[in-house]
Amino acid sequence: MNLKTIGYAVGITILAAACNQYRTQVTENGLKYQIFEHDDKARKAKLGDIMTFHFVLKNGSDSTLRDTYKEGTPQKMVLQAPQYKGSFEEGLALLATGDSAKITISADTLYAKIMQPMPPMIKKGSELSFTVKVVSILTTEEFQKEQSEAGTKQKAIEAKLIEDYLVKNNLKAKAVKTASGLYYIPEVEGTGPNPAPGDNIKAHYTGKLLDGKEFDSSKGKEPLQLTIGAGMVIPGWEEGLTLMKKGSKGVLIIPSGMAYGPETNGPIPGNSVLKFDMELLDVVKGQAQPAGAGAPPTR
């Protein structure tokens, strides 16, 4: 066999391997999947591990329903035993760190199992496809350690960010800092006792990012009603409201660790310091939450 023949044979072998890699395969349970990238030496997920991955979800018409790349934050999920044959979790269990693949599941089976009506953009009898890229696979202990280290680092970054904001806007002298890192800037002093756990309050609020972009407000709506200490709102609100009195107006500057943390929450990017213009309208001591109370801000 000459060198030309050897080169031709090697080329055919590589092409065959590539075609085999990208072909659609089916598990014993009927799950369809395609592997795009795979490393046999990379860490594979076990039940109970936390998988972090990006994905693009499309319906049977190839319309994108969700894209975590555009959202800017990958999905984190504890790998659990598949709830039914051919589930998304079964596909994830095939993957290792760094792998990319397309996992296709039955829309009918999924919505039958979760017992929810099928939305109009998903047709009966169609399939849903998840194009997945695995970022990391960690045990619970590793994940908790990573989160703790990241939280400590982020806390220092945000402390400097808030300090610079207060100095730039000539607010440092007025701002009251608590042990948690939350700041309260009083504008109008109210009267009466500060709210305590179990008390019911009414308040108006406008929530903004530190760059001034507004993401939520109760202005022009019914005021927010909630019970202090009931876990209905973010920790920064629970603490901040106890610094005010009936009739008070002021500003809360809340580090992400007291708000929504590293995860994106609707219009709020992960690791965002939040600024709330607050007006505490009423404080009722220790009575039950009124029926039909307004909803708390975005959770």
Which is the catalytic residue, given 103, 185, 234, 254?
Answer: 234
Told to judge if 276 belongs to the known catalytic residues of this protein, a careful annotator would answer yes
Helix (H) or strand (E) holding 15: helix 3-22
Dist CA 252 CA 79 (whole Å)? 38
Neighbours of 240 (CB within 10 A): 25
Structure tokens at 156: 């220092």
Dist CA 118 CA 107 (whole Å)? 8
Dist CA 174 CA 209 (whole Å)? 20
Task: Name the one residue in this structure whose structure tokens are 């075609």.
Answer: 19
Which is the catalytic residue, given 84, 108, 111, 216?
Answer: 216
Which is the catalytic residue, given 88, 205, 253, 277?
Answer: 205
* 8 Å CB contact between 55 and 109: no
Local structure of residue 232 (DSSP, 8 states): -
Which is the catalytic residue, given 84, 108, 111, 215?
Answer: 215
Q: What are the backbone angles phi and psi of residue 122, rounded to the nearest 5°? A: -120, 120
Which is the catalytic residue, given 185, 260, 268, 277?
Answer: 260
The percent of the chain in helix, strand and coil, each rounded to the nearest 5, is 25, 30, 45
| Alpha-carbon 125 to chain mean position | 30
* 8 Å CB contact between 175 and 230: no
Told to judge if 205 belongs to the known catalytic residues of this protein, a careful annotator would answer yes
Q: Which residues are catalytic?
A: 205, 215-216, 234, 260, 276
